Structure 1
Amino acid sequence: MNHNKQVEKASLMRNKPYLYLISSQVVSSLGDWLDMLAIMALVALKWEASPIAMAGVGLCLLGPMAVVSPVAGILADKYDRKKLMILSDVIRCLVVIGFVFSTALWQIYTLLIIKSIFAALFIPAKNGKLKEIVPESQMQSAMAISGVVDNGSKIVGPLISGLLVSLVGIQWSFYLDAASFVLSAILLFGVPKTINETFVNDSGIPKEKETMISQLKDGLTVLRQIPFLSAGLMVFSVALLVIQIADTQLMVLLRQIDGDPTEIVGYGIAANGIGMLIMSIILSKKKIQSTAIYIGLGSAVVGLCFAGMVLLVPLSIVMTTILTPLLFFIAGLAAAAIIIPFQITAQKGTPVQYTGRVFGTISSVTTLASLIGMVSGGVIAEIFGVNMAFVLSGGLLVIVGIVVLIKRSKLESRVNLAESDRGLQGKASG
Structure 2
Amino acid sequence: MYLPPKDRLDQLYQEAETHQLGQQLKREHPPQTIWGIRGYPALFTSYSISVIGQWFDSIALMVLFAYIWQSSPIYLGLIPVALALPQVIFSQFVTSLVKRFQKIRLMAFADCLTACFTIGLFFSPTPWLALILLSLRSTANVVHFPIQQSLVRELVPEHLRLKAVSWNGLVSQGAKIIVPFLGGLFLTVLTPQTLLLLNAAAFLISAAILFSIQHLISPAFMTTPTAFSRTSFFEEWKSGWLALFTHPLLLSLVSLSLIGLFCIQFVDSQFPILFREIAPTNPQHLTLVISAIGFGAVTIITIFNRLKKLTHLLFWISTSLALIALSFIGFSQIQAHHPIILFLVIGFICGIGTGLSITTLNYAIQTIPRDEEVASIASISQSLTSLVVIVAPPTGAVLTQAVGVQTMFALSGIVLIICLSLPALLKGKKKRLSSKKKRINYDNSSL
Q: TM-score, normalised by structure 2?
A: 0.77
The reply on whether 1:341 has 2:368 as its aligned counterpart is no
The reply on whether 1:34 has 2:61 as its aligned counterpart is no
Match of 1:248?
269
Helix, strand or coil: the match of 1:289? coil
Q: Deviations over 1:350-391 (max 9, x none)?
A: 222232222111211222223221231233345555555434
AA matched with 1:236: S
Match of 2:163?
141
Q: Deviations over 1:66-123 (max 9, x none)?
A: 1110002221222111122112212222333344444544334223212221221121
Match of 1:416?
none
The reply on whether 1:293 has 2:315 as its aligned counterpart is yes
AA matched with 2:109: L
Helix, strand or coil: the match of 1:184? helix
Match of 2:13?
none
The reply on whether 1:208 has 2:235 as its aligned counterpart is no
Q: Deviations over 1:242-297 (max 9, x none)?
A: 11111233345456665795x76555444333221221121233443322222222
Match of 1:153?
175
Specify whether residues 325 and 180 from structure 1 end up closer, same or farther in structure 2 by C-alpha distance, changes over 3 A only.
farther
5 Å-filtered alignment, 1:396-411, equals: 396-403=415-422
| Alpha-carbon separation, structure 1, partners of 2:261 and 2:107 | 26
The reply on whether 1:181 has 2:203 as its aligned counterpart is yes
Residue from 330, 347, 351 that aligns with 2:349: 330
Match of 2:118?
96
Helix, strand or coil: the match of 2:184? helix
Retained in 1: the 8 A contact 2:101–2:225?
no
5 Å-filtered alignment, 1:156-305, equals: 156-165=178-187, 168-192=190-214, 195-197=222-224, 207-254=228-275, 258=280, 267-286=288-307, 287-305=309-327
Match of 2:17?
none
Match of 2:412?
393
Which deviates more, 38-47 or 216-225? Answer: 38-47
Gaps of 5+ in 1: 1-6, 200-205, 412-430
AA matched with 1:62: A
Specify whether residues 148 and 48 from structure 1 end up closer, same or farther in structure 2 by C-alpha distance, changes over 3 A only.
same
Specify whether residues 62 and 165 from structure 1 end up closer, same or farther in structure 2 by C-alpha distance, changes over 3 A only.
same
| Alpha-carbon separation, structure 2, partners of 1:54 and 1:374 | 12
Q: CA RMSD in A?
A: 3.2
| Alpha-carbon separation, structure 2, partners of 1:117 and 1:252 | 31
Helix, strand or coil: the match of 1:16? coil
Match of 1:369?
388
Q: Deviations over 1:3-22 (max 9, x none)?
A: xxxx9774421123111111
| Alpha-carbon separation, structure 2, partners of 1:349 and 1:167 | 48
Q: Deviations over 1:98-154 (max 9, x none)?
A: 444445443342232122212211211222222222223322222222222222222
Cα displacement (A) at 1:221:
1.4
Cα displacement (A) at 1:227:
1.1
Aligned length: 394
Identity of aligned residues (%): 24
Gaps of 5+ in 2: 1-28, 431-447
Helix, strand or coil: the match of 2:388? helix
Specify whether residues 169 and 197 from structure 1 end up closer, same or farther in structure 2 by C-alpha distance, changes over 3 A only.
closer
Retained in 2: the 8 A contact 1:96–1:178?
yes
Cα displacement (A) at 1:392:
3.3
Which deviates more, 278-287 or 263-272? Answer: 263-272
| Alpha-carbon separation, structure 2, partners of 1:58 and 1:385 | 23
Specify whether residues 280 and 378 from structure 1 end up closer, same or farther in structure 2 by C-alpha distance, changes over 3 A only.
same
Specify whether residues 236 and 329 from structure 1 end up closer, same or farther in structure 2 by C-alpha distance, changes over 3 A only.
same
Higher RCO (CA < 8 A, seq sep 6+): 1
Helix, strand or coil: the match of 1:196? coil
Retained in 2: the 8 A contact 1:74–1:356?
no
The reply on whether 1:24 has 2:46 as its aligned counterpart is yes
Cα displacement (A) at 1:397:
2.8
Q: TM-score, normalised by structure 1?
A: 0.80
Q: Deviations over 1:219-247 (max 9, x none)?
A: 11111211111121111111111111112
Match of 1:421?
none
| Alpha-carbon separation, structure 1, partners of 2:265 and 2:332 | 16
